Structure 1
């Protein structure tokens, strides 16, 4: 997966390793003094499970980018000063420590960059049709904490004191 040649949005779904460094560098712009990058990684535990060995992600492929587009539109409506925005999710088998999702945002100042990045990842988690299966030594099951999907516009402004998932 490569950075787009034009525009300020990098959206996608891939089964390849996420190019985290490239995503960060792509977000840097001369008019933006802040870049916030969130990378969600595979951990060895989940609610009630201490021995997760890996995850498998599946997605409704045709709907992922349109939903990411909605998140971008909502992010830019709430924080018009956002420069570049990258939202990319990985599918397939992921091992412990691998990155499954990246949200990166640049803005002129850090408060807007942090707020927009927090909103983007929170909205992605609750509005994009991607599901994870947790595999552990004794079996497997779909990830805990799953909920019905919502529209990006329904996701609250995150100030750090509230979490969506």
Structure 2
């Protein structure tokens, strides 16, 4: 269990290493919270009837980390009871079934942590400069942008 002596924590990580939901859950666990909500985004094996074999992620790390910190600040404004926030995103190759992104948020009660996790992943996809390439079994790979992405569409959804 994570210690809770230093107050609320915002933990942000961009890594080429495999992500662990147990590690994220542990990092947001604290005695004052009865709710830990997690979102785990994984690589699926298909897109529009094409067989996906893996995803590849790239990021402009300094800007991505800054945007992730802004998300944490927004969460704390909207849900002041949120205790700990952990956002981890994988870079490089992510095989089918492995996690690309994990968000963990703790709060005293479930409503705040659940709502904050949804806000976090939706905002991350809309604002953080992380690019995804889908690699298919029988077709050329394709770089994708999130449909929610504000920075690539001039702020228009």
- Does structure 1 conserve the Cα–Cα contact (< 8 Å) formed by 2:131 and 2:145? no
Please report how far the alpha carbon of residue 97 of structure 1 lies from its aligned counterpart in structure 2 after TM superposition.
0.5
Q: CA RMSD in A?
A: 2.0
| Structure 1 length-normalised TM | 0.83
> Which runs of structure 2 are paired with 1:104-119 in the superposition (5 Å)?
104-119=104-119
CA distance in 2, matches of 1:116, 1:148: 19
Residue in 2 that maps onto 1:133: 133
Instruction: Decide whether aligned partners of structure 1 residues 102 and 130 sit closer, same or farther in structure 2, where only a CA change above 3 A counts.
Output: same
More strand, by proportion: 2
Instruction: Decide whether aligned partners of structure 1 residues 144 and 72 sit closer, same or farther in structure 2, where only a CA change above 3 A counts.
Output: closer
- Structure 2: runs of 5 or more not aligned: 1-5
Residue in 1 that maps onto 2:60: 60
Please report how far the alpha carbon of residue 25 of structure 1 lies from its aligned counterpart in structure 2 after TM superposition.
1.2
- Does structure 2 conserve the Cα–Cα contact (< 8 Å) formed by 1:129 and 1:149? no
Please report how far the alpha carbon of residue 148 of structure 1 lies from its aligned counterpart in structure 2 after TM superposition.
4.1
- Does structure 2 conserve the Cα–Cα contact (< 8 Å) formed by 1:13 and 1:88? yes
Residue in 2 that maps onto 1:92: 92
Would you say 1:34 and 2:61 are equivalent positions?
no
Would you say 1:124 and 2:124 are equivalent positions?
yes
Residue in 2 that maps onto 1:149: 150
Please report how far the alpha carbon of residue 149 of structure 1 lies from its aligned counterpart in structure 2 after TM superposition.
2.7
Please report how far the alpha carbon of residue 15 of structure 1 lies from its aligned counterpart in structure 2 after TM superposition.
0.5
- Does structure 2 conserve the Cα–Cα contact (< 8 Å) formed by 1:27 and 1:35? yes
- Structure 1: runs of 5 or more not aligned: 1-5, 155-163
- Does structure 1 conserve the Cα–Cα contact (< 8 Å) formed by 2:12 and 2:87? yes
Partner SS state of residue 102, structure 1: strand
Give a deviation string over 1:126-148, Cα, whole Å, max 9, x none. Answer: 11000100010221101264454
Give a deviation string over 1:48-80, Cα, whole Å, max 9, x none. Answer: 243011110011111111100000000000000
- Does structure 2 conserve the Cα–Cα contact (< 8 Å) formed by 1:35 and 1:105? yes
